[in-house]
Amino acid sequence: MKNYKTKHLLLFIFLLIFCGSLHAQSNYKPGYIITNKMDTIHGMIDFRTNKMNSKVCRFKTDISTNETSYSPGEIYGYRFTDDGKYYLSKTITIDKTQQTVFLEYLIQGIIDLYYYPGEQEYYFFKNEIGEMIPITKKPNQIIIAQDNTMQMKEDNQYLGVLNYVFKDSKSVANMATNANFSHKSMIILTKKYHEQMCTSGEECIEFETKEDKKFIQFHFSVYGGVQFNNYSFNSTNVYFEGINPEIKIATLIGFEADLLPEAKSTFPVIGFEAGLYSPRFLKSLSLQLDASLTKMSCDVDYSISDYAYSRFEMESLNFNGKAGARYTIPTGRLKPMIEAGLNYTQLINVSGTCTVESKIYPNLDYDINLHQKTFLGYYGSAGISYQLKNNSAIYLRYVYSNNSLDHEDPLKYSQVLLGYTF
């Protein structure tokens, strides 16, 4: 049963992520497109991952107008004005196959430098005669040596191509023999070559002007609300302080039962959560970490017959920790959201008493405790948020958690939360 629940939880999270990836996303930044007639049109461009940027340019003249998608070849190029990234339509050849893509323009000089994030990363060098020379680096491979030991083989064939590209400058060609396969190394080599070989005094232009420090972003929230607890004590988990732990409560009251009464209680809850997301990849999907504190108590009577009666009183401080995925539907300022993941609950400072009255044991009072105080389960959540200024928001959420994946005692709770995201 536990494996069945876990499989369905994982399936739900997968569907949550899959549906989120299908929904239209956007991350518009100021920029301009250059038409094939070399006209410049300013507006807003969807700033996505490097691979997405190489395949399509989604453009709006302003944020309120309809989106127009341009494929490579339909426009000359496009550029983000606040980031500096610059893309040009180019026809390239990879593995003897021609394709037209948006290449990221890194350096304009005697040799132009471009970047393409295909199935493998490629850099293209356009020399003075217009030849496009590609370099790439294959993933490291594990090989078996003659002595049957495993060794890591690194692909360094690109170093020979770099030496050929910069052959007219001995010092730069020597530098290329030890170059890393990275933006920084390729830009340094290309600029150094321009400085040594340019005789007209023209400046070498670098278009990669800013490091992308916002690919991964965080948001934080604080919240308060009400938690409704429902805990069914199992007699195997309850023990008497100072008495043989093999003696069950059910034995003392003369009834062969595994489950004791359900403990239902309602208490305030406060919490904090952190969300991690990537606006360039999938803005509406975030990974959530959540921590909250509340209380749980019970005060129940358990009567078997006229000759057996008991009263249970127990309370604890509850810590709830959650880790899951949230999808927020981008529908304007008012945004519905759903969430699912795993929940961990720790009972802290558990204290309780059991009073037993029967013909056999009249008026017995015991201090009781629990063998196991940690619970692992799953949760689901639905709510709605309202966007405020400066990327802050307020939200209302309903959370349901079933913490019985690793425990015989069913601990369930639901929450109604009002939060603020900043």
Strand partners for 394: 386, 420
pLDDT digit string (tens) for 349-360? 998 887 777 666
pLDDT digit string (tens) for 55-110? 999 999 987 888 999 999 999 999 998 878 999 999 999 988 999 999 999 999 99
3-state secondary structure of 382: strand
Backbone angles phi, psi at 216, to 5 degrees: -110, 130
pLDDT of residue 23: 45
| Strand ranges inside 279-410, DSSP E | 283-305, 308-328, 334-358, 364-370, 374-387, 393-403
Q: Is-above-0.85 flag for pTM?
A: no
Both tokens of residue 115?
Answer: 């970047």
pLDDT of residue 421: 94
127 in Cβ contact with 155 (< 8 Å): no
pLDDT of residue 395: 97
Both tokens of residue 176?
Answer: 């290329």
> At 197, which helix (H) or strand (E)?
helix 183-197
> At 63, which helix (H) or strand (E)?
none
Both tokens of residue 224?
Answer: 């308060």
Lowest-confidence range among 160-164, 243-247, 323-327?
243-247
pLDDT class of 187 with cuts at 50, 70, 90: very high
pLDDT class of 141 with cuts at 50, 70, 90: confident
pLDDT of residue 24: 46
